[in-house]
Structure 1
Amino acid sequence: MEKRRVLTGITTTGTPHLGNYVGAIRPAIEASRDPNNESFYFLADLHALIKCHDPKRVQESRREIAATWLALGLDTDNSVFYRQSDIPEITELTWLLTCVCAKGLMNRAHAYKAAVQDNEAEGGADPDKGITMGLFSYPVLMAADILMFNATDVPVGRDQIQHIEMARDVAGRFNHIYKGQYFKLPEARIEESVAVLNGLDGRKMSKSYNNTIPLFVSEKKLLKLIRKIKTNSLEPGEPKNTEDCTLFQIWQAFANESQIADMRQQYENGIGWGDMKNALFELVNDHLKEPRSKYEELMNDMGYVEEVMHKGAEKARAEAGTRIDLLRKTVGFGSFV
């Protein structure tokens, strides 16, 4: 049975938080240990430049994300972990795909359309004001990320399905023009069971809302942030609803079945919000204590992290080099002799 190839990119513009961990990092690390998968995980630092022009922020985010994944137990023996910018074949493939990609396809990209709508809502004369070619054409770069390694499965949220559909369109177009099956058509893997955590204010946890709980803050800071989570005004002793409760939602993401059942009963019994927040802190802190220590160790020894990333890039380039050589010949490039 042919192994499935799973590919996931992590944009390097922020500090990993609890929502990232529960929604993306934890399931990806579990997949990295599955012998039935060939897993590719990369720091999407080329994508980061679309949103962030602060080199210090991009560099620090790259360090933090790499150390986070390693501290949490990514199996780099059973997966390929690399920086996107270390694989020049990806940018070359991006150009080859750009030359077969219809502009109309890019016109329909959600991010571009949203930026245009924002400009139009502000009443400006130029609907493309402030929109870079990076923003406009980044679905092609995403397609290159996927197609370079012929990934079969790309875990995404429902809001990202369009990007996989675009990668399929571009791959099919290339295969048609050059009359061969050069690329497999990837499939979106929708993780329905993956939790989406709310943040401090009750909205989805996101750096855009400034409502996150960073994954590896100190114990003191973690307790302070958990105590800031918004709750209702119900007093201790009053029964409380677990539905739409951010505290219980985070509890579910870190607790086992017995702990979840016990806390559900405590809600019915009227647990006070202060007691619940203290219990949640203890649960999350116990879960993160060991990887936090490992993370701090790695952040103080980036030489080891760099060694891991270098080995990952070697593995990625070994395959990417073979594929790009074939594609160069396919489009008419290469030696005259």
Structure 2
Amino acid sequence: MNNNTASEADTVLTGITTTGTPHLGNYVGAIRPAIAASQNTDVNAYYFLADFHALIKCQEPEKVHQSTLEIAATWLALGLNTDNVVFYRQSDIPEIPQLTWFLNCVAAKGLMNRAHAYKDSVQKNLDSGEDTDYGITMGLFSYPVLMAADILMFNATKVPVGRDQIQHIEMARDIGQRFNHIYGEHFTLPEAVVDDHVAVLQGLDGRKMSKSYGNTIPLFLPEKQLKKHINKIVTNLLEPGEPKDPDTSTVFQIWRAFATKEQTDAMRREFENGIAWGEAKKQLFELINEELREPRERYNELMENPDYIETTLKAGAEKARAVCTPFMDKLNRAVGLYPLV
């Protein structure tokens, strides 16, 4: 039984963890395609700030709070259509932790033992001679259950994820199926949606752009700082006039993520003709800056107006709770938690 019986449309859910400042890799890999999808009126879409999830990795309150502001401002500045989607903060939905407990009570520990993040942490402990579970919190261990609650609460049918997250969707299916078996059909089982064409940007050092590597280009840097960051991209020692291989170049890889096909083809020819690295970086800065100039202005305005962001998130939470509060009432009754008379 799907609690969203008013529509046969797919329900799509996307979570954004509130740790750190969004960078160009986040933008091309997740934010830009998700915002484009937010214009589609044919789906029920939920976009949420996963601040409960942030606590698993980050125990610096100011950082979590600031990241929530920055990420919300980023999505709104880039044009997220909040008329078409439900945009909310996870911690504004008290039904989420309640459902997490219900699911904890049916989720198999053996299933959690197989979670990639937990296994990776255990292996690191073993490699360093530590106790198996040294430093591993219950937040990390049961993270897939919280993710399952996020998904099952709204009976999401499609969850866009990277390949490394497919296991969590499969776990959500397993947990939802177990609950359905015990308490009756309440949850629709979600499907992972993986877009293999999503760009994975290289960072300043040529590795995947990641906060953990410290090689990112923050999304809304002022123009001068953006130019400085782009100039830091590592290149080889080939001189101007010497042909350069675009397919091994971080500069070209980032160019391709922002350029049209015609612009990409033209830059490929420039590489073959030996464009100077300084000129290639100058053109890359101009290309990125042109795409981000107007959103950057909106972002800066929003950062000065947190009241507007808070109002927007509260309105999204109201829309979300209009769905999950009555559904949670049904689940309470299903497990036996309801008034005696």
TM interval, short-chain normalised: over 0.9
The corresponding residue for 1:17 is 23
Q: Name the structure 2 match of 1:297.
A: 301
Which residue is 1:196 aligned to? 200
1:275 aligns with 2:275: no
Structure-2 separation of matches of 1:102 and 1:115: 19
In structure 1, the residue matched to 2:209 is 205
Q: What is the distance in 1 between the residues matched to 2:271 and 2:169?
A: 41
Does residue 218 (structure 1) correspond to residue 222 (structure 2)? The answer is yes
Structure 2 residue aligned with 1:55: 61
Matched, 1:230 2:269: no
1:136 aligns with 2:141: yes
Aligned to 2:3: none
Structure 2 CA distance for aligned equivalents of residues 322 and 204 of structure 1 = 43
Equivalent in 287, 301, 313 of residue 291 of structure 2: 287
How many angstroms does 1:165 deviate by?
A: 0.3
Match of 2:12, SS? strand
**Aligned counterpart in structure 1 of residue 124 of structure 2, from 118, 130, 141:** 118
Deviations 1:286-322 (A, max 9, x none): 1000000000000000111111001000000110101
Instruction: Verify the 8 A CA contact 1:31 1:37 in the aligned structure 2.
Output: no
The 3-state SS of whatever aligns with 1:231 is coil
Per the alignment, in what secondary structure is the counterpart of residue 43 of structure 1?
A: strand
TM-score (norm 2): 0.97
Question: How far apart, in 1, do the equivalents of 2:160 and 2:276 lie?
Answer: 38
Which residue does the alignment assign to 1:177?
A: 182
SS in 2 for 1:10: strand
Tell me the SS of whatever aligns to 1:223: helix
Amino acid at match of 1:135: L
- CA apart distance, 1:244: 2.4
1:36 positional shift:
1.6
CA RMSD after TM alignment: 0.8
- Tell me which residue corresponds to 1:258: 262
Question: Which residue is 1:145 aligned to?
Answer: 150
Please tell me the residue identity of whatever aligns with 1:239.
P
Which of 101, 104, 121 is matched with 2:107 structurally? Answer: 101
- Flag structure 1 segments of 5+ consecutive residues without an equivalent: none
8 Å Cα contact 1:241-1:268 kept in structure 2: yes
CA deviations 1:83-121 (Å, max 9, x no partner) are 000000000000000000000000000011111111111
Structure 1 partner of 2:98: 92
d(CA) in 2 for partners of 1:285, 1:22? 14
Mapped contact 1:97–1:170 kept (Cα < 8 A): yes
Q: TM-score, normalised by structure 1?
A: 0.98
**Post-superposition shift, 1:4?**
1.1
Q: Secondary structure at the match of 1:188?
A: strand
Alpha-carbon distance in 1 for matches of 2:330, 2:236: 61
Unaligned runs of 5+ in 2: 1-6
Give the % identical residues.
67
Deviations 1:259-290 (A, max 9, x none): 11111111111101000000000000010000
| Paired letter, 1:83 | R
